[in-house]
Amino acid sequence: MWDNIRRIVSYFSARAVLLLTTVVVAVYLIIIIANMGGYMDKIKESEIMEQVYNTVRGNPALQRLSPSELRAILDKEIEIAKRRAGLDKPFFPWRSLEYLARGITLNFGRAERMISDSGSNQVRLILLERLPHTLLLWGVADLLVFFTSVFLALALSRRYGSLVDRVAVALAPASTPPIWFYGILFILLFASVLRVLPYGGFVDAPPPKTTIGYALSVIKHMVLPVLSVFIAIIFSSLYSWRTFFLIYSSEDYVEMAKAKGLSSRTIERRYILRPTLPPIITSFALMMISLWMGGIVTETVFSWPGLGRMLYEAIQQVDTPVIVGANVIYGYLLAITVLLLDFIYAALDPRVRLGGARRS
Amino acid sequence: MRKFWVLLLVAMFGLGAWAQVRNGAWVDEVVFQVEADAAKGLDMLRTGAIDLYWWDISDPDLVKIIVSEFNYAQLAGTYNELTFNPYGPEFKDGRLNPFSVPAIREAVNWLIDRDYIVSEFYGGLTAVPRYFCICPFFPDYARYADVARALELKYAHNPEKAKAVIFEEMQKLGAELVDGKWYYKGQPVELIFLIRVEDERRQIGDYVATLFEQLGFTVTRLYKTSREASPIWMRGDPAEGQWHVYTGGWITTVVARSEADNFGYFYTPRGSGSPLWQAYKPSPEFDEVCEKLWTSDFTTLEERRELMTKALELSMKDSVRVWVVNQLSYQAYAKNVQVAADLAGGISGAYLWGLTVGFVDPATGERLVGGTLRTASSNLLVDPWNPIDGSNWIFDMTPIRATGDWGVVFDPYTGLYRPQRIERAEVTVQEGLPVGKTLDWVDLKFAPEIKVPEDAWVDWDAANQRFITAAEKYPEGLTALTKCVVYYPEDLWSVPLHDGSTLSLGDFIMYIILRWFDRAKPESPIYDEAAVPEFESFMEYFKGVRIISTDPLVIETYSDLWYLDAEWIVTTWFPYYPQGPGFWHNLAIGIKAEAAKELAFSADKAQTLGVEWMNYIAGPSLEILEKHLDEAIATNYIPYEPTLGQYVTPEEAATRYANLKAWYEKVGHFWVGSGPFYLAEVRPVEKILVLKRFENYPDPATKWLIFAEPRIPTAEVTVPAPVLKIGAPWDFMVEVTFKDQPYPVEDMDFVSCILFDAEGNLVYSGRAEAVKDGLFVFSIPASVTATLPAGPIRLEAAVVSKVVAVPSFASAEFTAVK
């Protein structure tokens, strides 16, 4: 018993350290890449100079100063702007390590350029304001796709070669176009031509005054993005799950169960679903944490105020604290999920042992 | 039946009368939302999902749709050019830089075909050729249209001439042409083109690069975004030769009344401290001209004309920049919508958009009252709103402007100021300065000397919170170049604010303290070092301010700052801050919050303190501001009490704070204005904002209806006969119309006519005389025609109106015979 606990704790600790190291390395790489290895400082300095020097144009008050007076004023402005942008300290090693330390300890602080929708520069608020919208859209869409495809695939795998199965297989290439393609198509069809659904956004403008009215309006705005995600993914997802279940359906123990005369439902539940649960749960868990990143293009096509668009803006503006904040959370979520999945595998599948079997 | 007609008449007159007395905005509500995709925005406009899409569109395909299907505003504030690295002739590593030679740069004007660029890359719709650093749509171009047109013809596309000049200069530099390739010291002459990729500058860069390849140069094309290119061309050392040509782009967001300083900015080291600018070496003659225009060192308009003429000519000879196109962008709105739009900044740049926007009956063109105007743009609520140093994004400034009011407003079509809340102004200018006036509301005088009165306020003592007078700071006396006296109307103190308060003198005093002084003083609890540079440049010209009378309000301002237009010299001190309207009581709570280091007006200070950038409309700032409002109510706080306490009574303070509290409870924000709309709803995450009509706005809705559309004249020139005899008098008729109606003479500035010979040389120019509304005659006496050459002659007329800055052109051709 104690041996088992010690083995599990030791395994857990080793995995945790390994995963944490991976997260730290990944985040530091992101910091370096986002800042172009420190070259971003030069870009920011140029932008500051450009902005400050532009103020001279069309400003007779500045133009009537002597060159030295003008230079002194502009230099002061540049210095203030550079200090504000943190450019008074070198990127390597101090600022890069400072970003890392703050990110890893979840002390995200304040953004360098970005402002949350409500006007706050706290990275926490920048992320949290967008989170509910992303969870709502991608949560609904992904859960719909996941459960529909798993259950339909299971049913199809039991009807291998039937007309329904052949139609489903034939439709698999329909998932080739990306989500945004369907998005634009549906906007064209339902918003532009038929005029029955909105072009995008989160809610009607101006928003309805009542809670029910507001909720209904949000649902109306979700129809097209959810439909786009669903149509773009469902067929390939269905096809891959069907193939996956088919492989398990032809296992010897399933044939044996059939030979024993067990009902289809029992075979599905006990002999197919049970052993396939670990990969299904893995897929489900990874899907859930992917919600954190939202979808850049889809959110843009539908003007959906989600995390994907926010992250895209952060990358465009090279707002390192926001980029680090979003990625650190994703990294931690991924690491925790991977760690938990190890335990879940062991619980679900008796063939899996944490820490490996002791060799005799 | 008679009853019916009577009733109908009563109803009609009733409606008419109602429209007459309608105050403020024409529409009841304006809704803002975000749609970043312009194609989708136009589709929303087409299906009626929105009425106005106020983001600039310059994609030729989309512009074709706009022109054919919608009403639109045209913006001319963006322009592209080729920036040359002038260092040389050799870079530090010995490579040759042909563009160090002015003649080669000048030849690029002949090399490139601007018409081809316009038609090929801009679909002929979204750009016009541009040759100079002054905008072809702004007043300076109109003033000197004859000079400009002559130079445009001189520098028209002429590749053979370009080739001849470039080849000659290259040989002078010691380069050799071997098998069609240029070599210098045994190495191919390489030109590095830094090509921007975000817009049509990519095609322009490729086109020009190809032209140089065809001339035998080895061209390396570096495709870069703004960010990637900036450290190379703006910050890099030109001597290192990292680039030769950069495809530059610039923007002007309001109609510039004077662009004389552009020569100093674009062609001399005065414009910028950047290493590139410091490498500029204009000829001494050009440098002197640029300096005079830069510092406004001229005393008459004739002298200015001479300087501008020289500057235009010499800038083409210098050509460290070769101007290529002036872009035209479009903002689209439904056919049943009318709105004022700035010629440079469009609808979003027009201060009067809120007062002019409205629906019209498409059949009759009659203005309709009421309705909800739904708008979209590519962004909204980008940065926090606070009047002092909040969001400066055009997406935010557009709704902000509709919530505010001004002492004077920008005329969107001429860039001149017009009186809004003030009644009139008197401007006195020191003799010898070339200041003129266009509009009647300004009374312009000249004086040999302008003394600043001893009791004028010239500075601010932040420690003791009181103004410093001229007598204290300048006991030896002080003079100024200009004096301006503004007269407000008698009913000024009944102008209502959105929260139920009325305008008071305290708002003006607060404005004087807060706009320039207090935040730049280290002794102030709200000192912000980011405010210091602006304050220092302000103090270079500010000489004093004095309240002459409080009821009606009369304010006198002394300054060394002057402009060609007296309208621009007027300083009103009306409480509209750089980023929006503000009044002493709602600013007081912001001051308290910043003094307590809980919020900061500027992004810089917020960053330094590690606090929130103050937001009057949403987010965590609101809670802090509410706390300070409650404290202000409890203590009946009057900010800057030693000074403001003399103008604000405790009763006024109590009423104002009670109004603000009730306002916050009603609308959930602290944004208080006095404009035609109030901020009714803010949904930051959804990016939706609703403005509602402010019913108590004092002015009639019709006040600025004259700006509902730009009255750009259409011109047509009539030649008396296709063949004209030299030595006889010639009379040419110039017809000027707007929408097929004669253009009133009183609205016309001038009609200038220019004659060019077959080679494009200017042979004669002059002004046409007004005959009647819509008709001008350009007469050339026999004594002059006798001196003109025989052969084909082209007559060009430049028509300039007083009400729209954009000049119109018309031309006709004839043959002169002996």
How high is the pLDDT of residue A355?
A: 62
Q: Are B429 and B444 within 8 A, CB to CB?
A: yes
- Residue where the block lists tokens 């990016």: B687
A46 and B384 in contact by Cβ < 8 A?
no
Is the residue at A122 inside a domain?
no
Closest to B514 measured CA to CA, from B460, B472, B557: B460
Q: Are A140 and B710 within 8 A, CB to CB?
A: no
Would an 8 Å CB–CB cutoff place A236 in contact with chain B?
no
How far is the C-alpha of B788 from the C-alpha of B800, rounded, in Å? 26
How high is the pLDDT of residue B295?
A: 84
Would an 8 Å CB–CB cutoff place A98 in contact with chain B?
no
Is the residue at A329 inside a domain?
yes
Put residue A146 in one of left, alpha, beta given phi > 0 → left and psi -120 to 50 → alpha: alpha
Peptide bond into A90 cis (omega under 30): no
Mean pLDDT for back-to-back runs of 10 residues, chain A (360 residues): 79 88 91 86 85 77 77 84 83 88 87 87 90 92 92 87 91 90 95 94 93 96 96 92 87 86 84 83 85 82 90 86 89 88 78 57
Those residues with Cβ within 8 angstroms of residue A356's Cβ, 6 or more apart along the chain or in another chain: none
Residue B422 tokens, joined: 């003030």
Q: How far is B227 from chain A (nearest CA, A)?
A: 6
CATH number at residue A153: 1.10.3720.10
Q: Are B80 and B324 within 8 A, CB to CB?
A: yes
Would an 8 Å CB–CB cutoff place A286 in contact with chain B?
no
CB nearest to A119's CB, from B49, B533, B621: B621
Residue A245 tokens, joined: 């279940």
Query: Which residues in chain B have their CB less than 8 angstroms from residue A207's CB?
Result: 681, 683, 686, 688
pLDDT in tens, B565-617: 999 999 999 999 999 999 999 999 999 999 999 999 998 899 889 899 999 99
For B613, the 3-state DSSP assignment is strand
CB nearest to B261's CB, from A57, A116, A300: A57
Is the residue at A16 inside a domain?
no
Q: Are A120 and B620 within 8 A, CB to CB?
A: yes
B612 and A69 in contact by Cβ < 8 A?
no
Residue B461 tokens, joined: 């003592």
- Residue where the block lists tokens 């402007």: B401
Is the residue at A181 inside a domain?
yes
Would an 8 Å CB–CB cutoff place A88 in contact with chain B?
no
Would an 8 Å CB–CB cutoff place A135 in contact with chain B?
no
Q: How many other CB atoms are found less than 10 A from the CB of residue B789?
A: 15
What pTM was computed for the model?
Answer: 0.86
Displacement of CA B519 from its chain's centroid (Å): 27
Is beta strand B424-430 parallel, antiparallel or unpaired with respect to B442-447? parallel
Is the residue at A64 inside a domain?
no
Query: Which residues in chain B have their CB less than 8 angstroms from residue A80's CB?
Result: 529-530, 533, 604
Is the residue at A42 inside a domain?
no
How far is the C-alpha of B174 from the C-alpha of B101, rounded, in Å? 13
CB nearest to A129's CB, from B264, B294, B685: B685
Query: Measuring CA to CA, how many Å separate B146 from each of B151, B247, B304?
Result: 9, 28, 15
Those residues with Cβ within 8 angstroms of residue A219's Cβ, 6 or more apart along the chain or in another chain: none
Would an 8 Å CB–CB cutoff place A317 in contact with chain B?
no
ipTM over 0.95: no
Residue B472 tokens, joined: 């204290």
B688 and A206 in contact by Cβ < 8 A?
yes
Query: Measuring CA to CA, how many Å separate B211 from each of B207, B232, B626?
Result: 6, 23, 64
Is beta strand B457-461 parallel, antiparallel or unpaired with respect to B466-469? antiparallel
How high is the pLDDT of residue A58?
A: 67
Report how many Cβ contacts below 8 Å link chain A to chain B: 189
Q: How many other CB atoms are found less than 10 A from the CB of residue B500?
A: 16
Query: Which residues in chain A have their CB less than 8 angstroms from residue B231's CB?
Result: 39, 42-43, 45-46
Query: Which domain does A334 fall in, by range?
Result: 130-348
CB nearest to A207's CB, from B44, B604, B688: B688
Query: Which residues in chain A have their CB less than 8 angstroms from residue B608's CB?
Result: 84
CB nearest to A43's CB, from B32, B230, B264: B230
Query: Which residues in chain B have their CB less than 8 angstroms from residue A133's CB?
Result: 685
B683 and A133 in contact by Cβ < 8 A?
no
How high is the pLDDT of residue B1?
A: 44
Q: How far is A134 from chain B (nearest CA, A)?
A: 12
Bridge partner residues of B542 (DSSP): B559
Side chain identity, residue B404: G
Q: CA angle, corner B729, sides to B726 and B733, nearest 5?
A: 115
Residue of B nearest to A76 (CA): B533
Q: How far is B296 from chain A (nearest CA, A)?
A: 8
A303 and B274 in contact by Cβ < 8 A?
no
CB nearest to B619's CB, from A120, A192, A203: A120
Is the residue at A49 inside a domain?
no
A117 and B687 in contact by Cβ < 8 A?
yes
Q: CA angle, corner B684, sides to B681 and B685, nearest 5?
A: 130
How far is the C-alpha of B190 from the C-alpha of B192, rounded, in Å? 6
Residue A194 tokens, joined: 């038929």
How high is the pLDDT of residue B714?
A: 92
Q: How many other CB atoms are found less than 10 A from the CB of residue B651?
A: 9
Is the residue at A155 inside a domain?
yes
Bridge partner residues of B486 (DSSP): B425, B555
A73 and B537 in contact by Cβ < 8 A?
yes
CB nearest to B604's CB, from A42, A84, A109: A84
A120 and B530 in contact by Cβ < 8 A?
no
The count of structural domains within chain A is: 1
B271 and A56 in contact by Cβ < 8 A?
yes
For A117, the 3-state DSSP assignment is coil
Low-confidence stretches of chain B (pLDDT beneath 50): 1, 3-19
Residue of A nearest to B692 (CA): A206
Backbone angles phi, psi at B586, to 5 degrees: -80, -25
Would an 8 Å CB–CB cutoff place A13 in contact with chain B?
no
How high is the pLDDT of residue B231?
A: 85
pLDDT in tens, B651-699: 999 999 999 999 999 999 999 999 999 999 999 999 999 999 999 999 9
Q: Return the H-helix or E-strand segment holding A241.
A: helix A211-249
